[in-house]
Amino acid sequence: MYSSTAGISRFQFSNSYIWFEFYNIPLERDIKLISDTLRSWHIIGRLGGCNSMNMQLSQSQVDKRPSYDAIEGANVTPTTFYNIGDLEIQDKLARIWVDIGTSESLLLDVLINALTQISSDIIGIKQLTFGGSEFENWKENLISEDAGSSFHKI
C-alpha cells in the first residue's frame, strides 16, 4: 500500500500532497471514515501528540508501573502539525495537502498505521504516496461532482 514517492518529487513536510489510490471508487461511508481519520490525525498532531522526542512511556520498562515526568516532557522541543487542506477525490484517486511544519516522521507512521488497518478491514487502499503535485490521471481544477470529483472538509 505505501509508496514513498513512486516517481514523484520528494515529500516536503512543510508543503506536500499525500495521494491515495483506491482499488474501487470509495463510497460515501468510506470517504467519511478517511475524512474522520485525517481529521483525528491532524488534531493529535496539532496538539503535539506525535512528538518522537518525548516517548517516555514507550521507552520505559514494561514490568514497572508507568511513570511520566511532566517537567521532562515540557522541556522537549515541541512539534505541531500546522495545517491541512480538504480531501479531494476524483474517482479512485484522492489527495490532501499538508503542512506538517517539522520533519516529524512519527506523524507519518501514525497515519500509515491507521490507513493500513482501514485498508485491510474496510476500504482497500491500493497505494499511498507522499509528495508531488501531480499523479497519474489526476485532473487539476476539476470541480464538477458529475465528473466524479468531490471535496470534503477536514
Q: What are phi and psi of 41, to 5 degrees?
A: -60, -45
Q: How many Cβ atoms sit within 10 Å of the Cβ of residue 32?
A: 12
Q: Domains (ranges, CATH) in the chain?
A: 2-52+78-152 (3.30.70)
Best-predicted range by mean pLDDT (10-19, 55-64, 145-154): 10-19
Place of cell 515526568: 69
pLDDT-based confidence at 1, cuts 50/70/90?
low
Q: Is the pLDDT of residue 27 over 80?
A: yes
Confidence of residue 87 (pLDDT cuts 50, 70, 90): very high
pLDDT tens for 37-46 read: 999 999 999 9
Q: What is the pLDDT of residue 7?
A: 42
For residue 55, what is its C-alpha cell? 516517548
Counting Cα atoms < 13 Å in the Cβ hemisphere of 77 gives 5
